[in-house]
A = this chain, B = another copy of it.
């Protein structure tokens, strides 16, 4: 699973072309990768007993494949492993970048970047790929962390299921910029503009049982 060098965009399909605000859609590969790589959780949708289910979960991208892990007892992961030919899913990631205040209630919006991946998830059974995926999920949360923690042992690997989802049918959607008020509303006395969100981190909290001699690692202080 090496990083593709191709700049070719994802090919649009019927279900990745939005019915509304098509000008906000993008199939740019690097844009999609950036949206995926900077989100801590995705929302994984699947169908159970005919009804939709949406659950938040950790994930990671390695090249053009996404990985999700969970207990071998979890319902969607069991379904992906048992079902042939796999589990149809929709995996969505969203960043909220700003609150858009217009003069009219109607034109209020948010600035956001989302990525939506349609496809079929399959259980990863190859031990080497499974280990790569699990390292990637740790590194997705804290880059470099997999090298500074005890690797999974055989028992932990056996208790963990990993499913893979290839990035084939993928789209991004984004809104940027200020409010789009109607011309006749511009003179109204209401403030209009954007309140940008500014995500950040508080100081690291050491575990209660951490040896005080163990310093906060550099990779946390630069986040």
CA distance A75 to B14 in the complex (A): 12
A199 within 8 Å of B by Cβ?
A: yes
- Residues facing B in A119-172 (CB within 8 A) are 134-135, 137-138, 141-142, 145-146, 148-153, 156, 160
In the complex formed, the residue of B with least CB distance to A141 is: B99
Instruction: Report whether B196 and A149 are in contact in the complex, using a CB–CB cutoff of 8 Å.
Output: no
Q: Is the CB of B54 within 8 A of A92?
A: yes
Question: A41 at interface (Cβ–Cβ under 8 A)?
Answer: yes
Rounded to whole angstroms, the CA-CA distance of A27 and B122 in the bound complex is 32
Taking each of A56, A138, A200, A201, which has the highest tally of chain B beta carbons within 10 Å of its own beta carbon?
A56
Contact B199 A200 (CB under 8 A): yes
Looking at A19, A48, A51, A179, the one whose CB has the most chain B CB atoms below 10 A away is A51
Bound CA–CA A134/B57 (angstroms): 30
Whether A45 pairs with B45 at a CB distance below 8 angstroms is yes
Cβ-based interface call for A50 (8 A): yes
In the bound complex, residues from chain B placing their C-beta under 8 Å from that of A181 are: 207, 209
Kindly state whether residue A86 has any CB partner on chain B within 8 Å: no
| Interfacial chain B residues near A83, Cβ < 8 Å | none
State how many residues of chain A have any CB contact under 8 Å with chain B: 97
Give the contacting residue for A73; candidates B20, B88, B102, B208; CB below 8 A.
B20
Contacts A105-B134, A134-B105; is A207 near B190 (CB within 8 Å)? no
Asked if A1 lies at the interface with its beta carbon under 8 angstroms from chain B, I say no
* Contact A149-B103, Cβ < 8 Å, known A43-B94, A51-B118: yes
State whether B41 touches A47 (Cβ < 8 A): no
A26 CB-CB contact with B under 8 Å: no
A178 contacts across to B, CB distance below 8 A: 205, 207-208
A153 to B223, CA, bound (A): 46
Q: List 14 A-B contacts (CB under 8 A).
A: A20-B70, A20-B71, A46-B52, A47-B50, A54-B92, A101-B220, A105-B150, A106-B152, A106-B160, A108-B141, A181-B207, A193-B210, A198-B199, A200-B200
